[in-house]
A and B are shown apart, each in its own frame.
Chain A
C-alpha cells in the first residue's frame, strides 16, 4: 500500500498498532476538511507493527491528545515537501475537553461552560481523573 507523500501537512508516526483509529476519532479528524489517511499494521523496526496517520494540509492539532493516546508517537511537520520539525510526544499533565466525565453526579454535567478537565494522577498506570469530581477516566 502506498499513500502519496505530502507537501504541506503532518505525519503522526510510530503509533502503537491499534491506536490509529482511536487517535483519529479523538482528534476529530472525521470532521477535517483536508485529506487524511490512516495506515494500520504497517511494518516497523521499532514496534513490529505500527499505525500512521497522514494529514495532507494545515490543520491545528491538539498534541495533548496525541500524547494521551500514545506518548511514544512522533509527529512530523512537513512544509514544502521537507521535514520541518520532528516532535516527540509526552503524556500530558492535563486534558481539556478531550474526555467526558462519566459520573452523572459530576458538576461538569450541569455547570454552564465548565470545561471537561482531566488531570494525570498516576504516570505509571496512565491514570487520569476528572479535575472536578476526581472520578477516574475509563481506560483507552
Chain B
C-alpha cells in the first residue's frame, strides 16, 4: 500500500505528474467533481492544524468524495489510550484514505506500516509535512512556468524551519537553480542540509545576512518566521528582527516579477501592506496546496486500486 510520508517518497517524474494533474484540475474542475464519489477520506488530527485539515477536506469534497474527521478533543482522547498502529487499523475499516497529523516525529511512518489504506502525512511533529512542499512547488511552477534558471531566495529562520529544508531538497532535484540563503548568523542552514542538497547536486548558492542587498537578484523569495525563542538574548532579536520583515519599502529594489512566498501562518514577517502587491503569492500557495492535495489523493487512490 503506497503512502506518502515525505517528499523523497516521490520521484521527480511523479512530482511533475502530480503538478500536471493539479493544473488539469484547475483548468477543468468539472471533470473531477465526481471522481471520488462514494469514497471517504479520514482526517486524523492529533494536534490542531485547522488550515491543513480544511485544505484536505476541501480537496476531497471537490473530488466529489466524503470526509470523516477526528480532530480536537476527540483526537486527544483517542491518542490517550490507543497506539497509532491500532488507531489507523481501526480507521482503515471506515475510510479509503487517511490524512494524519500527529505531534510525534515518525508517527506517519508507523501509521503507513499499519494502515490497510493509503496514508498521507499531514505533518508529524518537526519531521515532515510533504503537502506543504507540494503546494510550494506548484506555486513556483505556475508563477514561473518551470524550475530552470531560477534564483531562489530563502529568508528568515533557515536553521529550524522544516518547510525550508524540505523545499530546498525538492528544488535541488531540478537542474540549473541558484539559491540565496538569507538569515542571521544564528539561524543559517545547517551544514548537513547544505551537503545533502546543495553540494551533492553542485548547485550554486550564496549565504548572506542582509535581505535588501540581494532582493534585486531574486525570482522567488521564500519568507519564514524568525522566532524570538530561537535567540539567546533579547537584544540580538530586537536588533535583527526588522531586517527580516518584508515591507513595501524593501520591495522597491525587487524584480517586477518576483514571487513572494510564505508557508503561513505569518506573524509579522511580511507587512500587511505587501498583500496587495501583485508579487505576493502566499495566498495562492494556500489554494495551490488544495489542488496538490487533490492530485495526491487521486494518485494514491488509483494506485491502491480504489478508483
Partner-B contacts on A (CB < 8 A): 103, 105-112, 114, 130-135
Contact = CB atoms under 8 A, between A and B. Distances in A.
Contacts of A130: 106
Contact of A112 (B85, B107, B124, B125): B85
Contacts of A132: 105-106, 109-110
B149 interface: no
Contacts of A105: 103-105, 125-126
Contacts of A133: 104-106, 125, 127
DSSP class of A's interface residues: helix, strand, loop or mixed? loop
B127 A134 contact: yes
B83 interface: yes
A121 to B, nearest CB: 10
A131 B104 CA distance: 13
Given A107-B110, A132-B110, A133-B127, A112 B105 contact: no
B84 interface: yes
A131 B110 CA distance: 10
Contacts of B103: 105
B83 A103 contact: no
Contacts of B106: 106-108, 130-134
A93 B86 CA distance: 28
Contacts of B127: 133-134
B107 A107 contact: yes
A117 to B, nearest CB: 10
Contact of B85 (A103, A108, A111, A134): A111
B23 to A, nearest CB: 31
A103 B124 CA distance: 13
14 contacts: A103-B105, A105-B125, A106-B105, A106-B106, A107-B106, A107-B107, A110-B104, A111-B107, A112-B83, A112-B85, A114-B85, A114-B110, A132-B105, A134-B106
Contacts of B110: 107, 111, 114, 132
Given A105-B126, A132-B110, A133-B127, A111 B83 contact: yes
